[in-house]
């Protein structure tokens, strides 16, 4: 186990020659991470549902391997893992970036002319389950395929991208935030189980990053980052041996402090900051 003040994971000098599997690499943070890894000299396996989008990110790079999958289909995730194993013999790092987002609030509808009309962000059980299927169960499907490889190697690492929305309850994030809070807890427990085996676990908690998903938001996003900057911070944190990589700090540190406050102060601060 690491010392009290040292890195929580084994650090490494650079990514040259590293075999990295990026799940959720078709756009957004995942695509930016894949491109940054290729620029740093890594071998990169790119996975998501769309082969054509993945091929666009790979852009014919000699060190890129396209292995499509659907995170909600555990058989397809295992099939992609086998493709990578056959090509490389294993992998040094797997990053699970795949996820989705939809606004949701606990409102069943509103009366208008005697009929209940639903807003797109109102409670919808089917949409809630679909968010959990991708954001939580999809990650578990990926871990199910990743763990056997890392354990056979007795080395390597797994990174899970959650969100600062998992720190505290936020407006319009009723299920999204819950899925990310579950991932944070899952990564913490996973670290305790795997680190004694020499396997690293990395938890990535982004704030607002400019991606196709966040561009749908209808509110001002504080400290919005470019996806390319988020990719660099993520990879630098993993290389340094950090457990949690969170950004941008001027936003995430405020949320970390807030979640330690009594609920009365938390709720009041969120209402004031968001107007909700």
Residue with tokens 């396996």: 45
74-94 pLDDT, tens digit each? 999 999 999 999 999 999 999
Asked which of 48-57, 68-77, 98-107, 206-215 is least confident by mean pLDDT, the reply is 206-215
Residue with tokens 């797994």: 158
Banded model confidence at residue 108, pLDDT cuts 50, 70, 90: low
The answer to the question of residue 11 being in a domain is no
> What DSSP letter does each residue of the chain carry, written as one string?
---SSS-SS---S--TT-EEEEES-SSHHHHHHHHHHHHTT-EEEEESS-HHHHHHHHTT-TTEEE----TT-HHHHHHHHHHHHHHHSS-SEEEE-------BBS---EEETTEEE--TTB--HHHHHHHHIIIIIHHHHHHHHHHHHHHHHT--EEEEE--GGGTS--TTBTTHHHHHHHHHHHHHHHHHHHGGGT-EEEEEEE--EESTTGGG--S--TT-EEHHHHHHHHHHHHHTT-SEEEE-HHHHHHHHHHHTS-HHHHHHHHHHHH--
The answer to the question of residue 175 being in a domain is yes
- pLDDT at position 219: 57
The answer to the question of residue 94 being in a domain is yes
186-197 pLDDT, tens digit each? 999 999 999 999
State yes or no: pLDDT of 17 exceeds 80. yes
Per the structure, the count of domains in the chain is 1
Banded model confidence at residue 169, pLDDT cuts 50, 70, 90: confident
211-256 pLDDT, tens digit each? 676 656 565 666 678 989 999 999 999 999 999 999 999 889 999 9
Mean pLDDT across the chain = 90
142-152 pLDDT, tens digit each? 999 999 999 99
The answer to the question of residue 245 being in a domain is yes
The answer to the question of residue 7 being in a domain is no
CATH number, domain with residue 225: 3.40.50.720
- pLDDT at position 12: 83
The answer to the question of residue 1 being in a domain is no
State yes or no: pLDDT of 54 exceeds 60. yes
Banded model confidence at residue 273, pLDDT cuts 50, 70, 90: confident
Domain containing residue 193: 19-109+117-274
Asked which of 8-12, 33-37, 270-274 is least confident by mean pLDDT, the reply is 270-274
| C-alpha atoms less than 13 angstroms from C-alpha of 266 in its C-beta half-sphere | 14
The answer to the question of residue 9 being in a domain is no
Instruction: Supply the pTM of this predicted model.
Output: 0.90
The answer to the question of residue 60 being in a domain is yes
Q: Is the peptide bond before 248 cis (omega within 30 degrees of 0)?
A: yes
């Amino acid at each position: 186990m690491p010392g009290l003040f040292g890195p929580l994971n084994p650090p490494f000098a650079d990514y040259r020659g590293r075999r990295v599997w990026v799940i959720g690499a078709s756009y957004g943070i995942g695509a930016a991470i894949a491109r940054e890894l290729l620029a740093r000299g890594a071998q990169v396996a790119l996975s998501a549902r769309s082969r054509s989008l993945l091929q666009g990110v790979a852009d014919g790079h000699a060190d890129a391997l396209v292995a499509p999958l659907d995170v909600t289909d555990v058989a397809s995730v295992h099939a992609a893992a086998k493709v990578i194993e056959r090509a490389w013999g294993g992998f040094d790092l797997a990053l699970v970036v795949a996820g989705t987002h939809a606004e949701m609030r606990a409102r069943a509808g509103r009366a208008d002319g005697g009929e209940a009309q639903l807003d797109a962000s109102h409670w919808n059980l089917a949409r809630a389950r679909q968010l959990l299927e991708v954001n939580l169960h999809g990650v578990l499907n990926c871990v199910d395929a990743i763990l056997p490889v890392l354990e056979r190697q007795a080395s390597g690492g797994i990174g899970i991208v959650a969100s600062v929305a998992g720190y505290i309850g936020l407006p319009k994030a009723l299920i999204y935030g819950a899925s990310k809070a579950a991932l944070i807890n899952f990564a913490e427990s996973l670290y305790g189980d795997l680190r004694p085996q020499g396997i690293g676990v990395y938890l990535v908690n982004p704030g607002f990053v400019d991606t196709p998903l966040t561009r749908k938001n209808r509110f001002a996003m504080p400290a919005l980052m470019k996806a390319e900057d988020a990719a660099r911070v993520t990879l630098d944190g993993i290389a340094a041996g950090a457990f949690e990589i969170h950004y941008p700090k001027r936003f995430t540190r405020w949320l970390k402090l807030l979640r330690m406050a009594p609920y009365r102060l938390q709720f009041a601060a969120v209402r004031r900051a968001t107007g909700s």
